[in-house]
Structure 1
Amino acid sequence: MRSKVRLTAAAVLLAGFGSAAAAQTQGAGGRTIYEADYFRTFSPSNALQIVQRVPGFTLDTGDNSVRGFGQAAGNVVINGQRPSSKADTLDVILSRIPASRVARVEIGPGDLFGSEYSGKAQVLNLVLTAQGGLAGAFTGTLRRDFLGRLYPEGSVSALLRRGASTFNLAVGVNNNATVEEGYDTLKALPGLALVEYRRKVNYTSDPNGFVSGSWEYNGGANKTAHLNARTALDLFSLTQTNIVIPTGGITRNDHLTERYHRHEYELGADVTRPFLGGGLKLIGLATRRHRLFKDLSLNRVNSAIVDGFGQTLDDERDETLARLVWTRPKLLGWDVEVGAEGVVNRLRSDVDLFEIAPGGTGKIPISLPIDHAIVTEHRAEAFVNASRAVTSKLRIDLGLTYEAWRLTVAGDAKAERTLRFLKPKAVFDWRPGHGWHAQLSVQRTVAQLQFEDFISSAELTTSRVNGGNANLVPQRAWEVLATLEHPVLGDGLLKLEGGYQRIQLVQDRVPTPEGFDAPGNLGDGSVYIAKARLDAPLKRFGIKGGRFSAYVSYIGSSVGDPYTHRQRQFSGYSDLVVDISFRQDLGKFAWGVEAQGNTPVTFYRLDELDRNSSAWPYVTAFAEYRPDKRTSFNFSLDNATGIPAFRNRLFFEPSRSNPVPSLLEHRYRTRHIIPALTFKRSFG
């Protein structure tokens, strides 16, 4: 739940509303338009950097873990159409488009761009030029950890336009590596007597590479086609050294390793043709993923193996889908969209947990409740969406989706069920004038189930078992969200949001008959939402090229706890998130400071409260030099203040139904300051 924030003391005097700057105009359907010239002061090299500079807009990259196509949408379309890829998130796709190929940016309510975006207060349409020829960009980064080790990474992308066809190819290698050090203390309660002290160093390596390509054909309105393919390989490695000093006991030298290999493949395509006065679009997508995870934890005394545990997870996940959508503008005064989607998802998972015999002489298998299983889902949905302008200031969007699932679990557990849901929605978009924009949405939503929640597994880093639950069902909710926004100080924006969700069968953690806890369903719950975002230029305050933004979010949640029978937060929620930012662009030079802070995140387990937090604020800073419009050198500091992260685990015996805790584990980790140097060069 980490959010990045930018901080400056100069912008606490923000006040006053103003009309939009000349570079910002109003278009049809309530669209706010920013021409390419508006972004030249930032010297962007790719489309992602342009999107990041749109006032008041927050990029939602989409969730590629969501099954199906419709629900995985982010909040950006390109030339009015959603990319037909799921594996590549929006930030990755945008980073491959050279800034020189962007004609303008349009911001409008989600219903202007299809049913996937209905209910979103803002969706960004990136409009590209018709310029032909070759263009591209290269990015290279060199990062340094606190031990002085260097980690290079880079990517190159090229875009070629020939007539009605556009080809895009990208190759990249990321090198997400770090060294983290810290300690753990385990203390007995209530007296806080030290039981155990652990000194830990984590060496993490996460190199991953990808190759992706796409082809687009644009023959005019409703005469388009896309083809995209991607392959990626991720090799995650963690090596932990751990000196364990029990009070009154023998010192151990424990050792933990994690070796995670992941392969992904994706092939997607869509074609749009004229049909009955509108456009008929067929989308096809197939993804394949294979994971092989190996964990090994060994406890040593004087180099001799005393005991330990290991686990191997080998799973394959497949998704195949087809989506057919017909859109027709101005049908009896309504813009109409009708469609259907069919999806087949399958997870084949094998988990083998074992104990290491003393001396490392053998492996003793440990059986888990559900460690070998095949989960299969057949899902279909049909939807209709209709929107129209009631007046010149009011637009409404109405939608209805019928969704049906057939879910089967085979292997160590047997389960089969069919679920059906009707999901209505209504969105009212109002522009009363003088720059004001308000939106109200009411809809019913149904969460997706994570197939991995059906499978049991162990966490060797925390010495606990996560049970699987083949009978988990999705939570469903009624959601109300109101949004109000207005320009400030020229091309700045103030945005306020408030909402409420009433949730049935909240998905959280529940006890299992085998004595573990597992993902399951609690009773009804509530979520309260309050957000405020401010993005403003500082020219009126005498700060040339300066820009300030701030974001505050409060999300309160409440559900009955199955152990204490009292109301509590949902697991994994942070009540308060604060983001503040400042940057200044001065021709060839730019600099900025980022900071972030959020309240602790707590997970409510069978016999523990697991709370994660960090000191405030988490700061990053950068300075950038641009010798010409195609080249930039960026020096950045991640965790510039060197703050640590904390984790407190409060244990109860035999479960949290006993209100008196027995142990407290405190974890302290720091990565120190991470400097990085990035070079970017665009061409064409």
Structure 2
Amino acid sequence: MSNLVGRPVLALLACALFPAAGHAQERVGARTVYQAAFFTTFAPATALQLVQRVPGFQLEDIDQDVRGFGQAAGNVVINGERPSTKSDDLETILGRIPAARVLRVEVGPGDGFGAEFAGRPQVLNLVLTEDAGVAGTAQLRLRRPFEGRIRADGQASALLKRGRSSFNVALDYNNDEITDYGRDVLTTLPGGELVEVRDKHNATHDPEANVSFGWSHDGGTDRKANLNGRFAIGRFQLWQTNHVTPVGGQVRDDVLEQDYRGRQFELGGDVTRPLGDGAIKLILLATRTDRDREELVLNQASGQILGGISQLQHLKEAESVARLVWSLPSTSGWSVELGGEAVMNRLDSEVDLYEIGADGGQTPIDLPLANAVVREIRVEPFVNMGRKLANGLRVDFGLTFERSRLTVSGDATAERTLSYLKPKASLDWRTGRWQLQAKAERTVNQLNFGDFISLAELTNDRVNGGNADLVPQTAWEFLLTAERPILGSGVIRGELGMNFVQQVQDRVPVEGGLDAPGNLGSGRMRIARLNLDVPLERLGIPGGRATMRFSLVDTEVQDPYTLKDRHFSGYTLWLLDAGFRQDLGRFAWGVDSYSNPGSTQFRRNEEDRNFRQNPFVEAFAEFRPDPRTTLTLRAENLLDVKFYRERTFFSPDRSNPEPFLHAFRTRQEHITMSLTLKRTFG
């Protein structure tokens, strides 16, 4: 048995250390280029499936929650240009592009793709063909949760290229439904006596629909224009039944209902024109969002209402962005980029919380910072410069100055001006088959406006306080990256990093016995990552490919209650994702597994840990009756793992090292099956 295991491992190491000559990809300068023919084996239907098959590349999506445009960038550009939208994520954008319209894929460092990407070790450029006419994709998915009806959703998109202009329109409808069962057990500490048992059943329905359109015009070098629009509407509903059996108390049946409705409209565009020896680009973006939240908890026994809680929230968000960038490709060996961004943001929130009596009457409950208006005006001028020092050696520098004016009004008032300098530098060295990068930068996290607002969590029987005095977390970040090809078209990539963090954003005590998002002292973050993507042809597995991604992020900050070092709230110490797929002409199959130890929220009077059994496994089987059609059967949670939550309570807070109550939750969603039909045309 040891020989059977050892031989493939030795073969893998030998091929990695002594790779054969000749590779499926081509190196052009600092970039690795994959022609469309490289992906023929995988028979991709869309650009998304094609990008997912790029060796060693991991998609980093657009951060839709970040205010402004510059910091929200993912790591994909199309024809060298970043999409001038934030509401659509990269998976959605790439899923609308037929694979047949992709000429090639380029992967390399971020220099040359704009200020948002300078210093990034990996950015993917999707180069489309010049083919005229109509092309598109259509997808239908049937999804069967463990309990409930079969749900249908899908998407369709069309791309028309005529002359120098391209037009696209897309419709997306997502119709997710999840059911789970479980039990909560409450016991005393340290004795472990049973206090209460809660048997719960949750059913959620989460439909969302959106329509988007776009127009682009390519008038030649540095003469381009784009216009994008999107409208989305969604609704999330949760129904929970909760049979509660207290020891020595009255058995009751609690009911929880949540109904969230949201609407969002976005309009954006950009125009590029020559200016001097370079080009100037103007980006404009406006987003408007409305959300309504209704929640109700009723405690009942023998058909009689004992009491309850209800909460209503109306929230409006508005963002307007203007970004101007002038870039000079090369002068005296230096590439230069100058620009600035101006952002106006506003959040209006109104929260009403009521206690429901046995007679059905409602009594208002006062919350600190329940009604507030948060406004921000922010400007960010920046400069980026880079040059080639020698063959295979490049250096890049950047400096951004961020200044913002933040005001809070309503139940509390606050006003302050924040200013930060954000320098960065990176050194890229490519020698032989190795690609190395060293990067250092100062980062400033954005504030989540929702953290200024108090809101009850009825599902968790607690209240989140709002904090008008919150300031951004900052850090000095240092990262070393090394990458090299193995086994022909395979890639191995490692990262080591250290972040020195100031004003760690976590949870702090506020008035009224609550806790809220706030700032702790200084902290550290140690990072180690390994990414492995290898073909298995040489190991005797035709069409086989294995992937493995491991991430270790060890955080440390002093707790304000215990005065001892602990991890940051909400951070997972490690992640391990491993996958295998085999493409055999018209057939393909694969398995993916995901493992992590969970994460903990350190609150004022409790430690709240969420975790699951490992690993979480998905499997698929795919049939391609023709080059334009793909039929995929997928099973999620193949091992039927359970999800857990552990809450440990302290009184009056965690400065008391002895907890008094323990709550352990078990949930099980079971296996979910789906069948997807995807068709491309044009």
1:210 equivalenced with 2:195 (yes/no):
no
The residue that corresponds to 1:597 in the other structure is: 595
In the TM superposition, what is the alpha-carbon distance from 1:514 to its structure 2 partner? 1.9
In structure 2, what is the equivalent of residue 563 of structure 1?
A: 561
Q: Is the 8 A contact 1:408 1:415 kept in 2?
A: yes
Offset, 1:119: 2.3
**How far apart are residue 250 of structure 1 and its match?**
1.2
Query: Could you list the per-position Cα deviations for residues 71-93 of structure 1 after superposition, in whole angstroms to 9, with x for gaps in the alignment?
Result: 00000000001000000011110
Shift of 1:219: 1.1
Deviations 1:605-650, CA, capped at 9 Å, x for gaps: 0000000000010000000000010001100000001001000000
Distance 2:621 2:92 in 1: 23
> Structure 1 CA distance, aligned partners of 2:312 and 2:592?
40
When structure 1 is superposed on structure 2, of 127-136 and 329-338 the one drifting more is: 329-338
CA distance in 1, matches of 2:223, 2:598: 50
Corresponding residue of 1:457: 455
Work out which of the residue numbers 611, 622, 625 in structure 1 matches 2:620: 622
Q: For the residues of structure 1 that align with 2:21 and 2:628, how far apart are their CA atoms? A: 29
* Residue matched to 2:412: 413
Residue type at the aligned position of 2:540? G
Change (3 A) 1:197 1:472: same
Post-superposition CA distance 1:513-568 (Å, at most 9, x none):
32100010000000000000100000011000000011111100000000000000
| Alpha-carbon separation, structure 2, partners of 1:253 and 1:660 | 32
Taking structure 1 as reference, are residues 223 and 604 closer, same or farther at Cα in structure 2, changes over 3 Å only?
same
1:268-301, Cα deviation, whole Å (9 max, x unpaired): 0100000011110000000000000111011000
Are 1:370 and 1:468, in contact at CA under 8 Å, matched by a contact in 2? Answer: yes
TM-score w.r.t. length of structure 2:
0.98
Residues 381-438 of structure 1, C-alpha deviations (whole Å, 9 max, x = no match): 00000111111110111000011000000100100000000110001010011x1000
Q: Which residues in structure 2 correspond to 1:489-528 (within 5 Å)?
A: 489-528=487-526
- Kindly provide the amino acid, as one letter, of the partner of residue 106 in structure 2: E
Counterparts in 2 of 1:278-289, with a 5 A limit?
278-289=278-289
Q: Structure 1 counterpart of 2:25, which letter?
A: Q
- 2:179 corresponds to 1:201: no
Task: Report Cα offsets for 1:476-508 as digits up to 9, x if no partner.
Answer: 110000000110100000000000000011000
Residue 25 of structure 2 is matched in structure 1 by 24
The structural deviation recorded for 1:332 is 2.1
CA contact (8 A) 1:425 1:443 kept: yes
Quote how far apart the aligned CAs of 1:10 are: 11
* Corresponding residue number in structure 1 for 2:576: 578
Q: Which residue of 2 aligns with 1:5?
A: none
AA aligned opposite 1:25: E
For 2:98 and 2:631, locate their aligned partners in 1 and report how far apart those are by CA, in whole Å: 17
Moved runs in structure 1, 4+ residues, more than 2 A? 8-14, 17-23
Distance 1:318 1:144, change over 3 A: same
1:187 Cα offset (Å): 0.6
Instruction: From the superposition, tell whether residues 209 and 593 of structure 1 become closer, same or farther in structure 2 (CA, over 3 Å).
Output: same
Match of 2:645 in 1: 647
- For residue 320 of structure 2, what is the aligned residue in structure 1? 320
Q: Is the 8 A contact 1:400 1:425 kept in 2?
A: yes
Question: What is the identity percentage for the equivalent residue pairs of Structure 1 and Structure 2?
Answer: 52
- Residue in 2 that maps onto 1:102: 102
Question: Which residue number corresponds to residue 336 of structure 1?
Answer: 336
Q: Find the counterpart in structure 2 of residue 483 from structure 1.
A: 481
CA distance in 2, matches of 1:243, 1:369: 32
Alpha carbons 2:160, 2:166 under 8 Å: kept: yes
* C-alpha distance in 2 between matches for 1:170 and 1:180: 33
Kindly state the Cα deviation for residue 19 of structure 1 after the two structures are TM-superposed: 5.8
Q: How far, CA to CA, are the matches of 1:620 and 1:481 in structure 2? A: 32
Once residues 90 and 653 of structure 1 are traced to their aligned partners in structure 2, the CA distance between those partners, rounded to angstroms, is: 46
Q: Residue 455 of structure 1 aligns to which amino acid in structure 2?
A: I
Q: Distance in 1 between matches of 2:6 and 2:293?
A: 46
What letter is aligned with 1:387? G
For structure 2, list consecutive stretches of 5 or more residues without a partner in the other structure.
none
- Aligned counterparts of 1:166 and 1:512: Cα–Cα separation in 2: 53
| Deviation readout 1:577-611 (Å, 9 max, x if unpaired) | 11111000000000000111001200000000000
Deviation at 1:359, TM superposition (A): 3.1
Shift of 1:12: 5.3
**Cα distance change on mapping 1:505 and 1:271 into 2, 3 Å:** same
What is the aligned partner in structure 2 of residue 33 from structure 1?
Answer: 33
SS at structure 2 position matched to 1:49:
helix
- Per the alignment, residue 71 of structure 2 pairs with 71
Asked whether the 8 Å contact 1:608–1:656 carries over to 2, the reply is: yes
- Cross-structure match for 2:664: 666
Match of 1:4 in 2: none
Q: Deviations over 1:7-64 (max 9, x none)?
A: x999755322426754300113x01000000001111111000000000000001201
Q: Show the counterpart of 1:261.
A: 261
Residue 585 of structure 2 corresponds to which residue in structure 1? 587
Distance 2:9 2:647 in 1: 38
Q: Deviations over 1:96-146 (max 9, x none)?
A: 011010000000101221110122110000000000000001011001111
Q: Which moved more, 1:410-419 or 1:148-157?
A: 148-157
Query: Contact (CA 8 Å) 1:11, 1:548: kept in 2 or not?
Result: no
Name which structure has the greater RCO, CA cutoff 8 Å, separation 6+. 1
SS of equivalent to 1:540: helix
The answer to whether the 8 A contact 2:24-2:488 is kept is no
Are the counterparts in 2 of residues 439 and 483 from structure 1 also a CA contact under 8 Å?
Answer: yes
Q: Secondary structure at the match of 1:50?
A: helix
Q: Secondary structure at the match of 1:110?
A: coil
Judged with a 3 Å threshold, the aligned counterparts in structure 2 of structure 1 residues 324 and 594 are, in CA distance, closer, same or farther, namely same
Matches within 5 A, 1:286-435: 286-360=286-360, 362-433=361-432, 435=433
Structure-2 change in CA distance of 1:514 and 1:93 (3 Å): same
The alignment partner of 2:61 has SS state of coil
Where 1:62 maps in the other structure, the secondary structure is coil
**Which residue is 1:111 aligned to?**
111
| C-alpha distance in structure 2 between counterparts of 1:282 and 1:23, whole Å | 39
Paired with 2:147 and 2:257, the residues of 1 have a C-alpha distance of 20
Letter matched to residue 173 of structure 1 = Y
Corresponding residue number in structure 1 for 2:240: 240
- TM-score (norm. length: structure 1): 0.97
Separation of aligned partners in 2, 1:436 and 1:264? 45
**In structure 2, do the counterparts of structure 1 residues 11 and 439 end up closer, same or farther at CA, with 3 Å as the change threshold?**
farther
Q: Retained in 2: the 8 A contact 1:441–1:480? A: yes
Name the count of aligned residue pairs: 674
Separation in structure 2 between the aligned mates of residue 629 and residue 169 of structure 1, nearest angstrom:
23
SS at match of 1:173: strand
Tell me how far apart the structure 2 counterparts of residues 636 and 540 of structure 1 sit (CA, whole Å).
28
Counterpart of 1:657 in structure 2: which amino acid? S
CA distance in 2, matches of 1:546, 1:398: 41
Pair 207,192 (structure 1): closer, same or farther in 2 beyond 3 Å? same
Superposition pairs for residues 117-196 of structure 1, below 5 Å? 117-196=117-196
Secondary structure in structure 1 of the residue aligned to 2:48: helix
Please tell me whether the aligned partners of residues 234 and 263 of structure 2 are also in contact (alpha carbons under 8 angstroms).
Answer: yes
- Against the structure 1 CA distance between its residues 19 and 104, is the aligned structure 2 distance closer, same or farther, given a 3 Å change threshold? farther
Moved more, 650-659 or 327-336: 327-336
Range that drifts further, 295-304 or 582-591: 295-304
C-alpha RMSD of matched pairs (Å): 1.2
Q: SS where residue 26 of structure 1 aligns?
A: strand
Letter in 2 for 1:605: R
Other-structure match for 2:541: 543
Partner of 1:3: none
C-alpha change, 1:531 and 1:300, in structure 2 (3 Å) is same
| Conserved 8 A contact 1:20-1:487 | no
Deviation of the 1:176 alpha carbon: 1.4
